[in-house]
Amino acid sequence: MTATAAIRLHLYAGLKGLVPDCPEEIPISSGTTVADLLARLGISPEKIHLVFVDGKKSDLREALQGGERVGVFPPVGGG
């Protein structure tokens, strides 16, 4: 059986609008990857450019245990 915990999720720039009612603290099962979490929220990997876990650059394969701060950034656009 997997333990249940929570992470603090911060979506930046255009990602905020993809999950308008996204709570900052989200329950997860220990071992959930960042990709699993974002899929659960309906955010496709193509929309992700950078992932930070506890302030350190990470990626979508990072397994979360609970208690982490996860920041997710889209690609930067501009002209």
What is the CATH code of the structural domain delimited by 4-73?
3.10.20.30
Per residue in 1-19, pLDDT (tens digit) is 456 899 999 999 989 888 8
Give 23 or 42, the one with higher predicted confidence: 42
**Distance of alpha carbon 25 from alpha carbon 53, whole angstroms:** 14
Q: What is the pLDDT of residues 46-56, one digit of tens each?
A: 999 999 999 99
pTM score, two decimals?
0.88
Closest CA to 34 of 65, 74, 76, 5: 65
Domain range list for the chain? 4-73
